[in-house]
């Protein structure tokens, strides 16, 4: 599987990464999913301390222990579970980040994290303090690089201006083109990579199409608009290839994107996604047609 450089780092991530949130808590079945990913050549595994109260990190770390030097592990920080596990609070403070990284390292069973990401963020956060925490962890050798997970242009702008981050994880798909307005062009200009999640738009852009649709629609698409748009996409672009291929290749066609992180709840899903990423890239004409058929969703609250 092809690899792309992550920002200005020396990390080269596969075009398809495994989003580990969906692998579940059964160690045997989750290990099969991770092993299938390794067999397909995937080297990028994304988890978070939030997932399953940290259990996800334990499973990922255990499954990758024997190939640790050959893979890139990304995890996230900032969401702090309440003691009774009834919910979590947001804490991007330096003190919490430097405490949380030690717990993530222990759960992952590793001495370092390849990519440590802030798991959200608002413009009201103590951004300078957060950046200082990441920079210190990098200097201490506990993390190799850092990034953020955000779709908020105002937050992304601040980290681009102030930090040495190498990546931004964001939701992006043919049905959610918000990042194209500002975030992706800015990141590409500054040499920072986008890592995209949600490429299949909750299954709407898989071959099941409207089977996954809600009567409420999706983002600012009504159900009727979804039916019309998905039908046109299938007819004009998806003929002769799987819709999953079109969806994943659309993300990879953007020059800012280094890797598409897709979840999987089975080894079969991993293999299908890997096949889609290895398929023929979209032509410039196909990308333009997709943009013509879909909305460039702009939500003012994310500015």
The catalytic residue positions are: 51
Say how many CA atoms lie within 13 Å of 248 toward its Cβ.
25
Distances (CA, A) of 96 to 93, 125, 176, 189, 259: 5, 13, 32, 32, 28
- Report the alpha-carbon distance of residue 208 to residue 186 in Å, rounded: 34
């Amino acid at each position: 599987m092809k690899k792309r450089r992550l920002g200005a780092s020396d990390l080269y991530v596969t075009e398809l990464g495994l989003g580990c949130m969906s692998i579940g808590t059964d160690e045997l079945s989750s290990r099969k999913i991770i092993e299938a990913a390794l067999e397909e050549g995937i080297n990028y595994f994304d988890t978070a301390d939030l997932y399953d109260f940290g259990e996800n990190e334990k499973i990922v770390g255990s499954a990758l222990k024997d190939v640790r030097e050959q893979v890139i592990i990304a995890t996230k920080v900032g969401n702090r579970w309440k003691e009774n596990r009834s919910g979590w609070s947001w804490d991007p403070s330096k003190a919490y980040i430097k405490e949380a990284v030690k717990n993530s390292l222990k759960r992952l069973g590793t001495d370092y994290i390849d990519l440590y990401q802030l798991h959200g963020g608002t413009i009201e956060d103590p951004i300078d303090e957060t950046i200082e925490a990441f920079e210190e962890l990098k200097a201490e050798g506990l993390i190799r690089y850092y990034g953020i997970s955000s779709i908020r242009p105002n937050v992304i702008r601040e980290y681009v201006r102030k930090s040495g981050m190498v990546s931004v994880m964001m939701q992006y798909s043919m049905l959610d083109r918000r990042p194209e307005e500002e975030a992706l062009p800015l990141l590409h200009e500054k040499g920072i990579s986008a890592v995209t999640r949600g490429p299949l738009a909750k299954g709407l852009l898989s071959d099941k199409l409207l089977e996954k649709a809600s009567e409420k629609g999706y983002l600012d698409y009504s159900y009727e608009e979804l039916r019309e748009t998905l039908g046109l996409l299938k007819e004009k672009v998806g003929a002769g290839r799987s819709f999953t291929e079109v969806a994943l290749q659309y993300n990879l066609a953007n020059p800012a994107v280094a890797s598409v992180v897709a979840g999987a709840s089975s080894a079969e899903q991993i293999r299908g996604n890997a096949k889609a990423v290895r398929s023929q890239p979209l032509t410039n004409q196909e990308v333009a047609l997709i943009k013509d058929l879909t909305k460039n969703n702009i939500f003012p609250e994310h500015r």
